[in-house]
Chains A and B, each alone.
Chain A
Amino acid sequence: MAHRLLSGMMNYSDASISASTIAPFLSLEGVRKTYPGVVALDGFSMDVRPGEVIGLVGENGAGKSTLMKILGGVTTPDTGTVIVDGVAHDGLTVEASIGSGIAFVHQELNLFENLDVAANIFFGREPWRAGPLKLVDRARLRALSAPLLKRVGANFSADTPVSALSLAQQQMVEIAKALSIEARLVILDEPTSSLPLAETDKLLDVIRALKAEGISVIFISHRLHEVERVADRVVVLRDGMLAGTLPKNAINHDQMVKLMIGRLLKEREKAAESARPPGTVALSAKAIRTSAYPDRPVDLGVRHGEILGLAGLVGSGRTELARVLFGIEKALGGALQLDGTDLVLGSAADAVANGIFLVPEDRKLTGILLDLSIAQNISLPNLPAHARRFLVSASAEAVTAEKQKRNLGIKAPSVATRTGTLSGGNQQKVVLAKWLAMHPKVMILDEPTRGIDIGAKAEIYGLMRALADAGVAVLMISSDMEEVIGVSDRIAVMHEGQISGILDKEQFSQENVLLLAVGKQPK
């Protein structure tokens, strides 16, 4: 088995040079897939050559997920052909997909945190020791895992528990798993969306290593700069159709964005323009200590009328700070002030009562209740205002929700629609709507545009700016460098639990943010 892979490597070792002359590993021809009321893919064609890194970009709803489902054999196209390794299929089955060497690394990792790396890589395919008990041969398991880990450039050993790994390292394990089944095409679905920048570099290196081995990669990402850095070719999907293909020398950010939506770009610039000078400090943290770094006090103040970007690596303590500011987590020390007066938060309910609202990082787990309707989600934090005596008035809820639905452009059949059926962008708008329906003083947004399409992103930037212009203090936590620089009025950078520096507009640059994020001084 290993021998086959090795010979494959040799064949494809100079793939990047002669890629165009080699038959593609995968081709899609005129693939069409419809769902009730939606044409998800409409005569889509593309091909992937051995050892080629394809950047696949497109708005949410452009058809990327459907394409992935077809490649994974989870769903079959209505019409069109999928040709893998020279064999034509009307539709792949899951077995055929795996059998022909297509492997997926999903955005949400499927690892067992309580097991070690080797056990995860060979889960369900563990080598056995001889004997009737069929005990797992742990030594062999590790011996088999080690070369795979080396190939992905891992700096951890096979017996490390997965729970001790960083996100990028966990992704390496997933990729090692793909290598262990002799994958010839690895599809990475939004692998970097939750990675800090330094970790992202590692992942991009792994992609390059795969490429050098002649393995094809489809890299799906909303982070266009990363696509720019690693892709040999970019395929842009729009409304289920091929909007365009960019060869290596034509890949650039604006070109991709233009193909993806045609308009935009100006939206973020618009969002960056503040209509008013910042006012007094609204919410301030004085020597607040959180569970992330109990011994490091944080000092930070966000002013009325500004968008304060909070950058930093994942794990630098930003989310914990947000949780303390919203009263979900108790501070281990320090004090909070709201408009100059001391503030004690015993719970999120206290924060809400004081006009401090949080749009949390994890929309589906903490932002909204997927089983409730749009109207019920929006009224939830302010339910007594939607009730006569103590009975909920459905009509009052509907009135509030209709207004928010109009203002925010939430796309849904009605306000009685279950939020679980909405797209990510629309769900995020519901989270915003429930707070906008009240009167925010301080709005904290933790990764507000993660995993949502560019169109919805632009709208959310617009909303944040509108809030700031109305005098609300906006604190935006984001790991998306372009977003932080493009939208903020000031940027505070966190490093290992402390604010390592605050940048004013004229100091904004990716380099400065990065330097502060790793604890160095900006230039």
Chain B
Amino acid sequence: MSKKDLGLLILILVVGAVVAIINPRFLLPINLANTSNLIGLFGILAIGQAFVIITGGIELSVGSVVALLGVLFVDFIATRGMAWPVALPLILVLGGLIGLAHGWLITRLKLQPFVVTLCGLLIYRGVARFYTADGTAGFAFGQNFPELEFLTAGRSYGVPNSFIALIVIAIVTWVVLHRSVFGRYLYAIGKNEEAAKYSGIRTGRVVIAAYVICGVLTALSAIYFAMYTRSISPASHGQFYELYAIAAAVLGGFSLRGGEGSLIGVILGTVLLQELQNLVNLLGIPSSLNFAVMGGVILIGVLVDQQWGVFRERRLMLGAARKGAAGAAAE
């Protein structure tokens, strides 16, 4: 765990302690379970986003994809009678295809990631609304999918299964990002795509793969979100979720220029964001201030991190200068 991650963890614990002292309900099992469920849902999204940000790209269509794929998934199993074990992989494939399209446009047709995914944001939201004729997609009264509901919204030993899913995905993606050949390629491309290309890396394929991974993880979280809310109004479902994911990554130490950030960081970033949401609710802060609190904390966090870096560098330089001067005097 890097120093940056450790700092974030301490911040999370301090904020948690303060909230718990002011309002002990913070530590109630029901509150912790609810919060960790949300951490699971948003964490999966944020990990997907992290893969893209590592390459120096960005994926803005996440929220719309959550809405579109959520609508489709509910429609497939609730209205069209498709078996969920068929619908689930189908949705994941669709998510992957969206990522593939984005990656292809970005690497082969050289469009900017911001532009491509911004268009995606608009297109998928529109398609989702059109698909339901702006109606709400939901389950009929009494309609049940016991196994699916257990896997998505259920709990094991009091721990939400969505949170467990996040842990499993986090472990796998940690290995991929920080230990695998592919992960090294991702970081190399994020740091300097040209140099990576000149080292014989097929950079286009690697970047496309990052968008596909992001698409699949987004599709998975779309299913979780759908099963969590159980009814989806496509005009608002998932709105701003891309920003939650990007914010989590930035809080976790990712640079939007690419090539920097750790998986633990993005998870801790998600935890902090959800903790803040919870704090707003528990401390009786008007919920209209929700976004303002989050934005403020992110800004302060990034600022402190930046200033800390400057401070440390200056101290190193001073120390070195002093040593140099001492050496000169000794001669």
A interface size (C-beta, 8 A): 35
Asked if A349 and B202 sit within 8 Å, CB to CB, the answer is yes
Q: Name which residue of chain A comes closest to B180, CB basis.
A: A390
A392 to B197 CA separation, bound complex (whole angstroms): 19
Residues of B278-331 at the interface with A, using a CB-CB cut-off of 8 Å, are: 320-321, 323-325, 327-328
Q: A34-B328, A371-B259, A383-B184 are known contacts. Are A358 and B320 too (CB-CB below 8 A)?
A: no
Tell me if A332 counts as interface (CB < 8 A to partner B): no
Tell me if B200 counts as interface (CB < 8 A to partner A): yes
24 pairs of residues in contact across A and B, judged by CB atoms under 8 Å: A34-B324, A34-B328, A35-B320, A36-B321, A326-B198, A328-B197, A348-B197, A348-B199, A352-B200, A360-B198, A365-B192, A365-B194, A366-B195, A370-B191, A371-B191, A380-B196, A380-B199, A380-B201, A383-B181, A383-B184, A391-B179, A392-B179, A392-B180, A392-B183
B interface size (C-beta, 8 A): 28
Asked if B328 and A376 sit within 8 Å, CB to CB, the answer is no
Residues of A364-385 at the interface with B, using a CB-CB cut-off of 8 Å, are: 365-372, 376-377, 380-381, 383-384
Given pairs A352-B199, A377-B199, 7 additional interface contacts (CB within 8 A): A78-B328, A347-B202, A348-B197, A365-B192, A369-B195, A380-B184, A381-B200
Contact with A along B75-96 (1 / 0, CB 8 A): 0000000000000000000000
Contact with A along B89-129 (1 / 0, CB 8 A): 00000000000000000000000000000000000000000
Give min CB distance, A280 to chain B, whole Å.
25
Contact with B along A334-350 (1 / 0, CB 8 A): 00000000000001110
A367 to B197 CA separation, bound complex (whole angstroms): 10
Asked if A380 and B181 sit within 8 Å, CB to CB, the answer is no
A348 to B185 CA separation, bound complex (whole angstroms): 15
Asked if B200 and A372 sit within 8 Å, CB to CB, the answer is no
Chain A interface mostly: mixed
Tell me if B19 counts as interface (CB < 8 A to partner A): no
Residues in B whose Cβ lies below 8 Å from that of A370: 191-192
A35 to B319 CA separation, bound complex (whole angstroms): 11
Q: Name which residue of chain B comes closest to A385, CB basis.
A: B181
Give min CB distance, B262 to chain A, whole Å.
15
Closest 7 CB pairs of A and B: A352-B200, A36-B320, A381-B200, A380-B199, A366-B198, A381-B199, A34-B324
A390 to B180 CA separation, bound complex (whole angstroms): 6
Give the most central of B182, B198, B201, B328: most A CB within 10 Å: B198
A475 to B183 CA separation, bound complex (whole angstroms): 34
Residues in A whose Cβ lies below 8 Å from that of B179: 391-392
Residues in A whose Cβ lies below 8 Å from that of B201: 349, 380-381
Q: A34-B328, A390-B180 are known contacts. Are A383 and B195 too (CB-CB below 8 A)?
A: no
